[in-house]
Amino acid sequence: MNSVQYADQIFVLLKQWLVSLFPAPLQTAVGILITVVTIICVFPALFAVTTILERKGLGRIQNRYGPNRVGPFGIFQPIADGVKALTKEDLVPANADKIVHFLAPVMLVIIVFLAYAVLPMGRNMAAVNMDCGLLFFFAIGSATEVAVFMAGWSSRNKYALLGAMRAIAQMISYEIPLMLSAVAAIMIAGTLNLQQIVEQQAGYSGILPHWYVFTPWGLAAFLLFIISATAESNRSPFDLPEGESEIIAGYYIEYSGFKFALFFLGEYLGMFSISAIAITLFLGGWSAPFSFLAWIPSYLCFFGKLVAMICCFIWVRGTLPRLRQDQLMNFAWKFMLPMSLFVIASAVCWRYAESWQRWALSLVVVAVPYLWLGHGMMNNRKLEQRVYRYAE
């Protein structure tokens, strides 16, 4: 075993050593427990780092100071926020369904953690290597709408219910282009196994990798996937479910203390998991970005890409304004859905055409609908401006 393979397998070997310390009847259960505890510890720790990174980054973007009081440079602010969430009073409305009100945030976090079971975070470092891993991920992720509705309905608050319905409408609308854009990668890879999808992108042409994002259809599918993922995560500019100026705080308006912190945690963990799937499908997963960097351990490559994706989400949040509800829904059904279907057609052309025909057909199938739909959106914008002018 060379040094690169040893670096990749060090955690696997460590886990095997720890499991070997226990009696044989307990080794399977201990192995599962170690995997679960590792996931539960690593990603909440990344959540704490992301909160301070986001608040610092938004402060810089908005030309103001971020957290700078708790610890050197404010790096202990997540600890202070956690202590505050644990010690705040847990208020429950008198007319609320108390059982469902309690179960909603717990169910949301459990669902998000289940999605991490199939993510390949390094070479041979998936908790469960399923042949239908991508299908499992989307099936589990679609259950988050149930938790959101439970939170809005159980609160017995009209603002919470309205926020829940808006969130569900948004999440269902953007789930369709999210899955359709992933279908293009599935068609080229020919498998639903996430580990195999990464392995098919792990080769190099010179110094450049065989990532799907470097193809015309892959770039279009990646952009559609990221836009849909932003809406699925309720991130700006798609953060309408928690529009303060309209519905105060959305479906978790009646939550406080640790329950609110669970919603906050679930939102960020969902962003991490959907970013990890985007990395797996289009950015080569745990493979290095260049051939001369192949010596870097695979898990460091994966988490480096994940941090870069998180920084992009923070950048978008500090840059773009929030959309209106009609703009959000029109964008999903009139632009994202047709473009996802065109990208699938482009992937078919790429799969079955000759090498020189691939680029020509893919560029036509992808570029022409973009230009056509962009022209239609410009016409709609001009129509809105005329309507507002007449209204004045």
Identify the pLDDT of residue 229. 92
Separation of CA 385 from chain center: 35
Give the span between the Cα atoms of 256 and 249, in whole angstroms. 12
H-assigned helices in the chain: 3-20, 24-61, 77-87, 98-115, 133-141, 144-154, 158-189, 194-200, 216-232, 244-247, 257-282, 298-317, 325-331, 337-352, 355-391
Separation of CA 252 from chain center: 20
113 φ/ψ angles, rounded to the nearest 5 degrees: -65, -35
Tens-digit pLDDT profile for residues 117-134: 999 988 888 888 888 889
Q: What is the dihedral of CA 225, 226, 232, 236, to 10 degrees?
A: -150
CB atoms < 10 A from the CB of 69, how many? 10
Q: Which residue type, as a one-letter code, is found at position 283?
A: L
Per-residue pLDDT of the chain (392 residues; tens, 9 = 90+): 555 556 677 777 888 888 888 888 888 888 888 888 888 888 989 998 899 989 998 888 888 888 888 888 888 888 888 888 888 888 888 888 889 989 999 999 999 999 999 999 888 888 888 888 899 999 998 888 889 889 889 988 888 888 888 888 888 899 999 999 999 899 888 899 999 999 888 877 777 788 898 888 888 889 999 999 998 888 888 887 666 556 566 778 888 888 888 888 888 999 999 999 999 999 988 888 887 777 888 888 999 999 999 999 999 988 888 888 788 888 888 888 888 888 888 888 777 776 666 667 666 766 666 666 666 666 666 555 555 555 55
Identify the pLDDT of residue 276. 93
Q: Which residues contact 4 (CB under 8 A, 6 or more apart)?
A: 294, 295, 297
Identify the pLDDT of residue 277. 94
What does the block give as tokens for 120?
Answer: 């390949």
Q: Which residue type, as a one-letter code, is found at position 386?
A: R
Give the span between the Cα atoms of 278 and 229, in whole angstroms. 9
**Per-position b or e across 303-338, b if 16+ CB within 10 A of its CB:** bebbeebbeebbebbeeeebbeeeebbebbeebbbe
CA angle 95, 99, 104 (to 5 degrees): 105
Give the span between the Cα atoms of 392 and 386, in whole angstroms. 10
User: CA nearest 38: which of 104, 108, 113?
Assistant: 113
Identify the pLDDT of residue 31. 85
What does the block give as tokens for 358?
Answer: 């691939």
Identify the pLDDT of residue 390. 52
Residues in a beta bridge with 209: 204
- What's the whole-model pTM score? 0.89
Tens-digit pLDDT profile for residues 367-386: 666 666 666 666 666 555 55
Identify the pLDDT of residue 379. 61
Own/partner pairs, 115-119, CB within 8 angstroms, 24+ separation: 115/140, 115/141, 115/273, 116/39, 116/43, 116/273, 116/276, 117/39, 118/194, 119/194, 119/273, 119/276, 119/277, 119/280
Q: Which residues contact 301 (CB under 8 A, 6 or more apart)?
A: 286, 287, 288, 289, 293
What does the block give as tokens for 185?
Answer: 């990668």
